[in-house]
Amino acid sequence: MDFENEKFRKIFFEIYEHLPRGGPGDAESTGKAFALIKNLSGHPEILDVGCGPGRQTLDLARISPGKIVAVDNHLPFLERLKAAAQRAGLQERVRVEEADMFHLPFEKEAFDLIWSEGAIYNLGFENGLRILGAFLKPGGYLAVSEAVWLKKHPPKELKANWDEEYPAITDIPENLTMIGKCGYVLLGNFTLPKSSWMDDFYTPMEARIVEVKKRYQHDQEVMDMMPYFQTEIEIYKKYSDYFSYEFFVMQKG
């Protein structure tokens, strides 16, 4: 589907703006990744890149003592996060900023920790490691989740789908090589559980698709877009042993 198509973009956000998360993830995995970080400064400056609706931003604010700047280029997500931070009494420690991750408006070496769940793919994994690394203090930490192959030789249908959506997806060893090449020391990595794809992402997306289909039942152009969203979910259900998101936690060397 073409994200340049205005109507597609509108429908995409009519679905995504109503989901708890913008991608696979869960509070437990955010906590598990955070626990891999030792010796973080007492008052860390944290950047959350591609924060989306910001579930992980709030989870991070609850488990770390730091101040978090959460950036995304989609304003409605930021407004939602800002309101949620206020409701949770975290507004003093969570600030949102509309920004393009390709042109982050921060000083170099400004952050103790950079977090990015399911969003570094926008930059490309290796390119993203380099771009984000420039904003880390020496010895700072980077925690990202990234789509990976879990098995070799994916079935044709699955491979074709990823070739369409994110042809740069690769396996965990290849990602670890890039991490080393970019000068990071790996602190740990783990695969997100299947529940983190379904509970707060694909299950609510399925429900949202039903609502959107009802609303646009007389708009054939929109109805023709729906298989795009449904196929993504079906592909996951059918082939979830072949791919997932991997959390990588590392320290700038």
The reply to whether 100 sits near ligand SAM by the rule CB under 6 A is: yes
The reply to whether 114 sits near ligand SAM by the rule CB under 6 A is: no
The reply to whether 102 sits near ligand SAM by the rule CB under 6 A is: yes
The least CB distance from residue 49 to ligand SAM, in Å, is: 7
Nearest residue (CB) to ligand SAM, 25 versus 44: 25
The reply to whether 45 sits near ligand SAM by the rule CB under 6 A is: no
Distance CA 139, CA 215 (A): 51
* Sequence-separated contacts (24+) of 26-30 with Cβ below 8 Å: 26/192, 26/193, 26/195, 26/196, 26/199, 26/200, 27/55, 27/56, 27/59, 29/145, 29/190, 29/192, 29/193, 29/196, 29/247, 30/56, 30/59, 30/60, 30/63, 30/117
The reply to whether 244 sits near ligand SAM by the rule CB under 6 A is: no
Q: Is the CB of residue 28 less than 8 Å from the CB of residue 195?
A: no
Structure tokens at 197: 């794809």
Piece of 37-45, 69-77, 167-175, 210-218 that binds ligand SAM (CB under 6 A): 69-77
Nearest residue (CB) to ligand SAM, 87 versus 181: 87
Look at residue 53 and give its three-state secondary structure: coil
Q: By Cβ distance, which residue is nearest to ligand SAM?
A: 52
Distance from chain centroid for Cα 190: 15
Q: Is the CB of residue 8 less than 8 Å from the CB of residue 2?
A: yes
Judged by CB under 6 A, which of 22, 44, 66, 140 binds ligand SAM? 22
The reply to whether 74 sits near ligand SAM by the rule CB under 6 A is: yes
The reply to whether 66 sits near ligand SAM by the rule CB under 6 A is: no
Q: Which residue has the tokens 């698709």?
A: 209
Judged by CB under 6 A, which of 118, 128, 133, 140 binds ligand SAM? 118
Contact positions vs ligand SAM (CB under 6 A): 21-23, 25, 50-53, 55-56, 72-74, 77, 100-102, 117-119, 122
